[in-house]
Structure 1
Amino acid sequence: MPGRLVVVSGGGTGIGKAIAATFAASGDRVVIIGRRREVLEKARSDIGEDRIHVMAADLRDPGQVERAGDRIAALGEVGVLVNNAGANATPPTDDSLHALSAAWRHDLDTNLLTAVLLTSALRDRLARPGGRVVVISSTAAQRGGTGAHSYGSYAAAKAGLHGWSLGLAKELGPAGITVNVLAPGYIAGTEIFGDTADGAFRSRKRDDTLVGRVGTPRDVAAAVDYLASPDAGYLTGQVIGLNGGAVLGR
């Protein structure tokens, strides 16, 4: 129902920004949370909604997440939590195991721990019944680390979200809270691929689909909007592909 409190991590750009705009347009109050306050403020200005609340925090830092959780709790009961924060794989700085370990720890913290910490901080504030948790993963979790994700850490972190989310769905289901994972394929207009997303790259991603086009942030926002709706109350504990048929269902 409109008027819920919605929390979107990584809400300043791309997919997160589109999700925040969709909920705000429906009359919900939306907290967008991420590391870069200036990016969040620009998103708030672009969306043009008084219902957007900006909260700057590094979600890899337990202390910052705890403080952010307290501030969010002061706003009221959380109807929807969208764990969207993440980043592409970090290449090791050299060939040593120390560099490999540092790169993997960074990527696991950025793509997996952020969701675990924020959800844990807000768990007791989720609406009961009717709360919704949506976790944004990636087809990399299903395909393995390839191409831009060849270091493996990104795919492993996203796959970790799947197992964690399915367990969370079991725990929260009796309270009437649903938990689902959305695994998008290539989505244009995001920061995750950076300068690697040239015309040839996008063409390959388009040709990889069955529908002949790449995804958009709006495609993801529309799917999240449904998963967060009252009509989706019987849908929980699922990993849902959103990839134009690039990865077929299993």
Structure 2
Amino acid sequence: MGERLAVVSGGGTGIGAAVARGLVADGYDVLIVGRRADVLLATAERIGAECGRADAVSAMTADLTDPAQLAGVVEAVGDRSVDAVVNNAGGYLGGDTATLAGTAAWWRANLDVNVLTAVLLTEALLPALRRPGGWVILLSSIAAQRGGGGPYSAAKAALHGWAYDLAGQLGKEQITVNVVSPGYVADTEFFGDRMTPEGHAARVAATLVGRVGQPDDIAAAVRYLVSPAAGYVTGQVLGVNGGSVLGR
């Protein structure tokens, strides 16, 4: 058993799985949380085998928009202290905007999956978060800074404001709170079958470095922010986007 424990939501695929693997490599035990048990278990087994630590990753199935299901996550943590909470669950959900009722449902769904999941998981684990020295990470998106995603952009931007409040609340306990804001990242389920070759090329061309992002690029930023090297960094939004949106 590792000395440190991280909880990563949306940890079965893409960025979440890359974060989990990186943290295991850094000596963490990791609890990955998501809605698909088969995906989570396969990822936990794969990371354990790749890192030579078969029991380093455990999996918990939960819909984090449902407050009642957070009890299972807390139970899975048990009496251990949680060193890092990485809120990666989320995504863009389409909707029917032909009526006001449809528009309301679309917005609520995106706010629930991108904001409420992070709020509920973090609040549920706050009593277990290590004091001093805990870390809370929120995964945002370039869409929060440049728009283009309707309710998804608004939901991700809401995480920024909440992160500032949470950093102020928890700073006195030596807990840091930061946001990682990715740009276009390949090898995730975000776009599904919506990405075209033209869309891919346009997104790569919009970067300053001329390449697509990879889940490991985002994982590297998270690994820094949950390390002692980032102990003086809190209340910040770290853009990892190849320069497609400049810092401001």
Quickly name the TM-score band, shorter chain normalised.
Answer: over 0.9
1: CA distance between counterparts of 2:72 and 2:18? Answer: 26
Question: Counterpart in 2 of 1:33?
Answer: 33
Q: Give the conservation status (yes or no) of the 8 Å contact 2:87–2:118.
A: yes
Native 8 Å contact 2:74 2:125 kept in 1: yes
TM-score by length of 1: 0.94
- The alpha carbon displacement at 1:75 in A equals 4.9
CA separation of 1:44/1:71 partners in 2, compared to 1, >3 Å: closer, same or farther?
closer
Matching residue within 186, 200, 204 for 2:202 = 204
Report the RMSD for the aligned CA atoms in angstroms: 1.1
Check whether the contact 2:45–2:57 (CA below 8 A) recurs between aligned residues: no
Distance in 2 (CA, whole Å) between partners of 1:36 and 1:60 is: 14
Q: Partner of 1:16 in structure 2?
A: 16
Matched letter for residue 37 of structure 1: A
TM-score, with normalisation over the residues of structure 2? Answer: 0.95
SS for the counterpart of 1:7 is strand
Aligned residues: 242
**1:66 positional shift:** 2.8
Q: Deviations over 1:141-175 (max 9, x none)?
A: 0011x2xx2xx110011011110111000000010
Output aligned runs, 1:103-142, within 5 Å: 103-142=106-145
Instruction: Please tell me the residue identity of whatever aligns with 1:3.
Output: E
- Structure 1: which amino acid aligns with 2:101? H
Deviation at residue 69 of structure 1 after TM alignment: 1.9
Alignment of 1:223-234 (within 5 A): 223-234=221-232
Structure 2 counterpart of 1:175: 173
Matched, 1:55 2:60: yes
User: What code does the residue aligned with 2:45 have?
Assistant: S
Match of 2:177, SS? strand
CA contact (8 A) 1:69 1:118 kept: no
Q: How does 1:150-189 map to 2 (within 5 A)?
A: 152-189=150-187
- Structure 1 segments (4+ residues) deviating >2 Å: none
Displacement of 1:201 after TM fit? 1.4
After TM superposition, the structure 1 stretch with the greater mean CA deviation from structure 2, 83-92 or 16-25, is 83-92
SS of aligned partner of 2:83: strand
Gaps of 5+ in 2: none
What is the alpha-carbon distance in structure 2 between the residues aligned to residue 180 and residue 18 of structure 1? 18
**What is the aligned-residue identity percentage?**
52
Q: Residue 74 of structure 2 is aligned with which of 69, 82, 86?
A: 69
Cα distance between partner residues in 2 of 1:183 and 1:77? 27
Unmatched 5+ residue regions in structure 1?
Answer: none
Q: 1:91 deviation in Å?
A: 2.2
Aligned-partner Cα distance in 1 for 2:4–2:230: 16
